[in-house]
């Protein structure tokens, strides 16, 4: 990993990362953002080596009972010492080009914000096509002008102006294998159902098959997911789960 220039005087960055049992990739995540003036790890009950890894890397380690993904990240941003925030997940590693791009930024305008290309891996295999092949995420912002939406799942940063795409990538080591991908979709479904419930959304039963077909076709065919082989097929199945299961859970709760 190449060295990054120091942050401009007076404009330090706080890297914020929420964790729970994140020992698998945390050391690499923290090492890749070592140019930040602060690295804050906000943990929600890890029982593995997460705390030891964070402290050994020199990161600030804080604890917070899990509030939901959006609220938890908002809390991490709130605890940070600096207004410029680099928000990373515990399985997202900046590549060298992204590190250099961040270090060379003019951050004199607090309304400015930046996004990165995110390259997702299942085990050691990069997914290059389908909906993940075009993934872009806003990760660098000033907390006085941008913030995470308080969503329980699939949280994102809401900014006062559109983000600028920086060179480089975030390497996203999110899934240990294809079963992990499906298990994650099933685990998130109740959280998504709760978000829909709070918004007062009540889907129609007849819409579920149509949503499922559209989700599969869009991921596997229209977006070219078939080019990733079996992984592309399973990703499309996960999309079906994401688009239908939360709605089915809501309908089930409403039935007598």
Q: What is the pLDDT of residue 163?
A: 96
**9-13, 114-118, 248-252: least confidently modelled range:** 9-13
How far the first Cα of the chain sits from its last, in Å, is 59
Residue 201 has pLDDT above 90, yes or no: no
Residue 3 has pLDDT above 70, yes or no: no
Mean of pLDDT values over 203-212: 92
Ordered DSSP codes for 14-81: EEEEEESS-TTTHHHHHHHTTTSSEEEEEES---SSHHHHHHHTT-EEEE-----HHHHHHHHHHH-S
**How far from 244 is each of 57, 214, 252, CA to CA, in Å?**
41, 11, 12
Mean of pLDDT values over 160-181: 95
Q: Is 237 helix (H, G, I), strand (E, B) or coil?
A: helix
Residue 9 has pLDDT above 50, yes or no: no
Residue 252 has pLDDT above 50, yes or no: yes
What's the pTM value of the predicted model, to 2 decimals?
Answer: 0.87
Residue 5 has pLDDT above 60, yes or no: no
Distance, in Å, from the CA atom of 151 to the CA atom of 115, rounded to the nearest integer, reads 20
Q: Which residues of 190-212 are buried (b: 16+ CB within 10 A; e: fewer)?
A: eebbbbeeeeeeeeeeeebeebb
Mean of pLDDT values over 139-149: 96
Which structure tokens are listed for 214?
Answer: 């559209």
- In tens, the pLDDT along 37-59 reads 999 999 999 999 999 999 999 99
- In tens, the pLDDT along 57-82 reads 999 999 999 998 999 999 999 999 99
Domains and CATH numbers, the chain: 13-175 (3.90.550.10), 178-254 (no CATH)
Residue 7 has pLDDT above 70, yes or no: no
CB 88 within 8 A of CB 22: no
- In tens, the pLDDT along 176-186 reads 999 999 999 99
Mean of pLDDT values over 142-170: 92
């Amino acid at each position: 990993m190449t060295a990054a220039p120091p942050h401009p005087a007076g404009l330090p960055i706080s890297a914020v990362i929420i964790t729970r049992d994140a020992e698998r990739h945390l050391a690499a995540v923290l090492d890749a953002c070592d140019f930040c003036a602060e690295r804050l790890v906000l943990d929600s009950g890890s029982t593995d080596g997460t705390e030891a890894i964070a402290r050994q890397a020199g990161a600030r380690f804080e604890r917070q009972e899990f509030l939901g993904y959006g609220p938890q990240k908002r809390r991490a941003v709130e605890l940070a010492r600096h207004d410029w925030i680099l928000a990373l997940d515990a399985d997202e590693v900046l590549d060298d080009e992204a590190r250099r791009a961040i270090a060379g930024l003019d951050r004199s305008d607090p309304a400015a914000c930046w996004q990165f290309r995110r390259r997702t891996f299942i085990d050691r295999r990069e997914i290059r096509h389908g909906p993940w092949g075009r993934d872009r995420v806003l990760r660098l912002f000033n907390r006085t002008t941008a913030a995470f939406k308080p969503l329980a799942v699939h949280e994102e940063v809401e900014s006062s102006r559109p983000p600028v795409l920086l060179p480089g990538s975030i390497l996203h080591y999110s899934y240990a294998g294809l079963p992990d991908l499906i298990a994650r979709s099933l685990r998130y479904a109740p959280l998504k159902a709760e978000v829909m419930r709070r918004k007062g959304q009540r889907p129609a039963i007849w819409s579920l098959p149509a949503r499922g077909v559209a989700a599969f076709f869009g991921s596997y065919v229209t977006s070219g997911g078939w080019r990733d082989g079996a992984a592309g097929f399973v990703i499309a199945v996960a999309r079906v789960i994401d688009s239908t299961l939360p709605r089915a859970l809501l309908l089930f709760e409403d039935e007598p």
